[in-house]
Amino acid sequence: MLLRFTKMHGLGNDFMVIDLVTQHARLTEEKIKQLANRHFGIGFDQLLIVEPPSKPDVDFKYRIFNADGSEVEQCGNGARCFARFVRDRKLTSKRTINVETQGGDITLIVHNHNDVEVDMGYPILEPALIPFHAEQQAITYPINCHNQTFEISAVSMGNPHMVLIVEDILQAQVEKWGPLLEKHESFPQRANVGFMQVINSQQIKLRVFERGAGETLACGTGACAAVVAGRLQNLLAEQVQVDLPGGSLQIEWQGSGHSVRMIGPTTRVFEGQVRI
């Protein structure tokens, strides 16, 4: 059968987006890996799937699969692309869209000029809920990896993140430590690993090694987690510009008891059909 799809990206974090509201398909882990292959398939960091909602108070169900075929709970850049996709496909005319994900319900607000605001919900800091192995909740935690100790923050934005502060983002050994820390035993469901350089209280630079995808040009949930980690350490203001390799996001977190909000652009690259 032929399956219609759209190729999109949010700051270079690229996606294959499929509407399974008006068409039907079953994608196995192996098929997702084939589609993700940049030489023999479509090529993407994540596959995004639009499904009908399973409860009455949301508009759609949003599922995310990494390039290795594993399903994950949340993707902030993908959420922005999701919002533009369902409007472009005329699946909805709403500008405020409520969506259910494995990581919890989120609200998407479509602005002009292809910018989308995402209410990412409340950051999760309790270790057992991240999940992260720790005796008690703290602002930072020391962990050992291959005889080196790292001071990290542990945050869930619907998916688990560790955040490290580095002096120079360009000199950070993301290629070396990213895949090792991703699988650290303290994170039973693996972790997205953020390397954060604080420029000033309103600006950071960030590189993220995403579990199941490797380093990407941008990571929305990683940007949110980094700002939360920086705010908890009294390093950042309520509104922060996060500069990623693919571009910049605006993140706002007023602190405990408030949700994290993210604003950033979306780009539709092309439409296509693939035989599955």
- Positions at the binding site for substrate: 13, 46, 66, 76-77, 159, 192, 210-211, 220-221
Alpha-carbon Rg of the chain, whole angstroms? Answer: 18
Instruction: Spot the catalytic one: 75, 81, 145, 224.
Output: 75
Helix pair angle (220-232, 76-88), 10° resolution: 140
- Please, which residues have CB within 8 angstroms of residue 120's CB and are 6 or more apart in sequence? 74, 76, 79, 106, 157, 158, 220, 221, 224, 259, 260, 261, 262
Please indicate whether residue 219 is annotated as part of the active site.
yes
d(CA 205, CA 196): 6
The bridge status of strand 141-145 relative to strand 96-100 is unpaired
Annotated binding residues:
13, 46, 66, 76-77, 159, 192, 210-211, 220-221
Please indicate whether residue 224 is annotated as part of the active site.
no
State phi, psi for 134 to the nearest 5 degrees: -155, 150
Contact 143, 133 (CB under 8 A): no
Sign of CA pseudo-dihedral 177, 242, 271, 61 = positive
Active-site residue list: 75, 219
